[in-house]
Amino acid sequence: MYIRNKIKLYSRFNEEGALKMLKKGDVISYGTTGVCKVEGECEQTVKGQKKRYIVLKPVHQINSTLYVPLDNDELKTKFKPLLTGEEIEEIIKEMPEESSLWKESSSERAELYSQILESGDRKRLAQLVRTLYLRQKHLIAKGRHLHSLDERFFKNAENLLFDEFSAVLGISQDEVFDFIETRLSKA
């Protein structure tokens, strides 16, 4: 059911998840961009200096191309192997048990939500999506809506998480919510 066999990257990370070496055609998760396909490496001259870059194409943003400098260790830490189908199932299974991340202070929420997005921790992203989804549902019942700050973080977290789930599960991003609901209703 899952496309793990189509993704060649798992062997490119060691047991601790650290990057060994990327190859053209590998599919990875990169920072807050989401799922990307490795297009290869290139050399470019920037400000008179030649640098080597890994070229990434975001899977769901066809007009974008990222150039990640090979000499920037901080940026290279943002490369993550994609989750497996089994890991996605486990994250979904644990969603109802996760506590809410809601904070009354908007500045505290913004700080926490930014940290979660930057970390790329998919379990925490799922927890954030669930928190804001339930908050939105609660507010809609009262004839209100999410604050623009929360709406922005909700969309960013949902896009990042659903991007990876759809790539691994072989479904469209639009189908991910229904996939999650179906799994949760069977639990």
pLDDT tens digits, residue range 63-106? 999 999 988 888 888 999 999 999 999 999 999 998 999 999 99
Q: In 3-state terms, what secondary structure has residue 52?
A: strand
Length of the chain: 187
Q: Considering the domain 85-186 in this protein, what is its CATH number? A: 1.20.58.1290
CA distances from 187 to 26, 32, 101, 102, 159 (A): 33, 30, 22, 24, 24
Domain(s) of CATH 2.40.10.170: residues in the chain = 4-81
Task: Tell me the chain's radius of gyration from C-alpha atoms.
Answer: 18
Domain(s) of CATH 1.20.58.1290: residues in the chain = 85-186
Which pairs from 91-96 meet CB under 8 Å and 24+ separation? 91/122, 91/123, 91/126, 92/126, 92/180, 92/183, 92/184, 93/183, 93/187, 94/123, 94/126, 95/126, 95/127, 95/130, 95/180, 95/184, 96/184, 96/187
The ranges of the chain with pLDDT < 50 are 1-12, 18
What is the C-alpha to C-alpha distance for residues 81 and 137, in angstroms, rounded to an integer?
A: 33
Q: Considering the domain 4-81 in this protein, what is its CATH number? A: 2.40.10.170
Residue 187: predicted pLDDT: 67
Residue 6: predicted pLDDT: 44
Angle ∠(85,58,182) on CA atoms, nearest 5: 30
Residue 130: predicted pLDDT: 96
Residue 139: predicted pLDDT: 97
